[in-house]
Structure 1
Amino acid sequence: MSDPLQSLLALLDLERIEENIFRGASRPAVIPRVFGGQVAAQSLVAAGRTVPGDRPAHSLHAYFLRPGDPGAPIVYTVDRIRDGRSFTTRRVVAVQHGQPIFHLSASFQAVEEGLEHQEPMPPAPDPESLPTAEELLPRYAHLFPDPRVADRMLEARAAIDLRYVGEPPYGTAAQGPREPRSQVWFRTNGKLDGAIDQPLLHVCLATYVSDMTLLDSVLLAHGRGGWAVGDVVGASLDHAMWFHRPFRADEWLLYDQQSPSSSGGRGLAQGRIHTADGHLAVTVIQEGLVRVPRV
């Protein structure tokens, strides 16, 4: 297991300070606010630790309320909304400096059999044939107004092996608008084993990654490169996920993303995460703030 992955797992290992209250640290961010995927994943950890282990998470719905402060801890308060015969519901509020910054509702279900169908997995190249972040980012460092951006992005993604299918938005902005669709393969940078290898952890790691690239498809539709090149200002507004089938975050997962609409300074994106053998594991929908800076 890589050192960055161990650091990420430590970040998700919340401190329990009361029965329904947890505290989490933050890590230095590429931009001066807490990464949205971090607070979403930590909130799901807090919720999951109040639920019996035989009830995996099947959905979450969340709102980003305020920018988080990377230099301060985050306190997560869990409200045990309902414990039913099949479903368990939890509500989590993340607080910093006395104010809520994030709100999440999550639902967990006892495992049962049911009707089965899914959309087929879209075609994608073998992830091993694609460049790593270490190989990809230096190619575009000259496009970033701040030469430190590439290094910060590498540091932020060191725990996750994330590989773009095609060029990322910051590399294609000069080419103009494209089809609003993007794909990445991802897995943790190291295998999970031993006592930490729990189903909840794999779901929380996928939640963490799900916020990294989802708005890329919005940017591609308008020939924009994103915050890294300074041609848009963006932030996650809300986030929803449905976990359909078991998966492992330390094995290759294809994240297929597309944007059906953008308007009013907001962009809507939806993604599907497939296992390498073709099973639809997760569906993700997010609306984000996407503004063009005023000159």
Structure 2
Amino acid sequence: MKGTQPSSTSTNNSKALIEEVLELTPVLGTGPDNFTNVKPLWRPPGNRGIFGGIVIAQTLVAAQKTVAPDFPVRSMHCYFVFAGDGEVPILYHVERLVDTTEYVVRSVSAKQGDRLIFSATLSFTKFDENNAGRVDYSVPPPAVEKPADVGSGWDSGQPFQLVTASFDRTFAKPEIKKFRQWALSRGKISSSGGQQAHLGALAYLTDSFLLGTVYRAHLVRRFSSPTAMQRLQHVKSQPEPDMEALQYFQALADIEKRDLGGNYQTDKEVGMMVSLSHSIYFHNPAVVRADDWLLSEMETPWAGDGRGMVVSRWWSSDGVLIATCVQEGVMRMNESKTLQNSREGKL
């Protein structure tokens, strides 16, 4: 199970692939409001743990199961504690902290065995139909074209197609660079999944390529660095190479080369990258449609002390701002293999 990717097609033709990823079931005999995943947990090749977007999204789904549908999620604040094991089911325990006629608050702890791997606090708000005196404004979407066709982008086998829209790599300062990306669900989200499935899908998406904005903005390579290329050659040289891992790393290296456009630092490469915290503010939950093109814009306002922060904004296909996300993580940069070899007289 470790390192395996989800199939690019759903086993249930009436549902999108992301709905299978989001599926949880009650855990009987363990008390109320306990849920666990139904499908295997995807660990990207080379990662220490499962993809963070899975546990973010499944945490939202678990909390939604204890909240009335007319209370859409307003925000969720998450903390990654330990890397998740792809071979161990996750137990999501929901605590009902607040229930009023206007607000609902839930706390969710995600455990594997006795180990807490993730925790989150979520707020839900009943839709306010009274517009009197309300202030309305939002940041407009960037002017980028939608992908030409549904089949565009990298077929990673994940529940979404991801297509780079633009990257301001020529700007001198990393804090003003912006990376933009389109995303589209593979398959239509079912009516039975409803709006809660669309919101869970968006939560999953918010972790895609997010922390990587830090190293991209600094023009530091991760997947196409000399060390990464050495690893890729090692995989290729095996008597029975792991073709899944090979295709995965090669695709990411190709995307990185294209996005950086040959403009990168030669003396540094990414050594380690781990998410610490993740917050999502849902602005217009009623209009989220994950099976239509969604546009994200990512920027990194700060990096220091071995950490980096990224802010992303998400717009619907017709330009409505639907979410803002903030993530912080550990970032370690190493000297590149080329520079190390040069210092050791190997070049």
User: TM (normalized to structure 2)?
Assistant: 0.72
Tell me how far apart the structure 2 counterparts of residues 43 and 287 of structure 1 sit (CA, whole Å).
19
Where structure 1 has 5 or more consecutive residues not aligned to the other structure, the ranges are: 135-153
- CA shift, 1:287, in A, is 0.5
**Percent identity (aligned):** 29
Aligned residue among 184, 187, 194 for 1:187: 184
Q: Deviations over 1:242-267 (max 9, x none)?
A: 11112100011110111101001111
Is residue 127 of structure 1 aligned with residue 147 of structure 2? yes
Aligned residue among 280, 284, 298 for 1:241: 280
User: 2:55 aligns to what SS in structure 1?
Assistant: helix
- CA shift, 1:3, in A, is 1.2
Tell me how far apart the structure 2 counterparts of residues 192 and 217 of structure 1 sit (CA, whole Å).
29
Distance 1:106 1:44, change over 3 A: same
Provide the residue aligned with 2:26 in structure 1: 16
Tell me how far apart the structure 2 counterparts of residues 255 and 123 of structure 1 sit (CA, whole Å).
12
Distance 1:227 1:177, change over 3 A: farther
Aligned residue among 85, 108, 115 for 2:124: 108
User: 2:181 aligns to what SS in structure 1?
Assistant: strand
Residues 58, 108 of structure 1: 8 Å contact kept: yes
CA RMSD of aligned residues (A): 2.5
- CA shift, 1:180, in A, is 2.8
Provide the residue aligned with 1:288 in structure 2: 329
- CA shift, 1:214, in A, is 1.3
Tell me how far apart the structure 2 counterparts of residues 33 and 248 of structure 1 sit (CA, whole Å).
29
Tell me how far apart the structure 1 counterparts of residues 189 and 16 of structure 2 sit (CA, whole Å).
10
Aligned residue among 307, 327, 332 for 1:266: 307
Provide the residue aligned with 1:64 in structure 2: 80
Residues 167, 177 of structure 2: 8 Å contact kept: no
Distance 1:228 1:26, change over 3 A: farther
Where structure 2 has 5 or more consecutive residues not aligned to the other structure, the ranges are: 1-6, 229-268, 341-347
- CA shift, 1:49, in A, is 0.3
Tell me how far apart the structure 1 counterparts of residues 102 and 223 of structure 2 sit (CA, whole Å).
43
- CA shift, 1:85, in A, is 1.2
- CA shift, 1:227, in A, is 5.3
User: 2:27 aligns to what SS in structure 1?
Assistant: strand
Provide the residue aligned with 1:27 in structure 2: 42
Is residue 42 of structure 1 aligned with residue 19 of structure 2? no
Is residue 81 of structure 1 aligned with residue 97 of structure 2? yes
User: 2:192 aligns to what SS in structure 1?
Assistant: helix
Tell me how far apart the structure 1 counterparts of residues 215 and 311 of structure 2 sit (CA, whole Å).
13
Provide the residue aligned with 2:161 in structure 1: 161
Larger Rg: 2
User: 1:284 aligns to what SS in structure 2?
Assistant: strand
Provide the residue aligned with 1:3 in structure 2: 9
- CA shift, 1:33, in A, is 0.6
Tell me how far apart the structure 2 counterparts of residues 120 and 133 of structure 1 sit (CA, whole Å).
27
Q: Deviations over 1:169-224 (max 9, x none)?
A: xxx89x9986531000001011112312x111111111111101112321122111
Aligned residue among 209, 218, 221 for 2:217: 221
Aligned residue among 195, 200, 206 for 2:196: 200
Count of aligned pairs? 269
User: 1:207 aligns to what SS in structure 2?
Assistant: helix
- CA shift, 1:228, in A, is 6.4
Tell me how far apart the structure 2 counterparts of residues 166 and 117 of structure 1 sit (CA, whole Å).
25
Residues 163, 181 of structure 2: 8 Å contact kept: yes
Provide the residue aligned with 1:149 in structure 2: none
- CA shift, 1:20, in A, is 0.6
Tell me how far apart the structure 2 counterparts of residues 161 and 60 of structure 1 sit (CA, whole Å).
24
User: 1:195 aligns to what SS in structure 2?
Assistant: coil
Is residue 97 of structure 1 aligned with residue 113 of structure 2? yes
Residues 180, 218 of structure 1: 8 Å contact kept: no
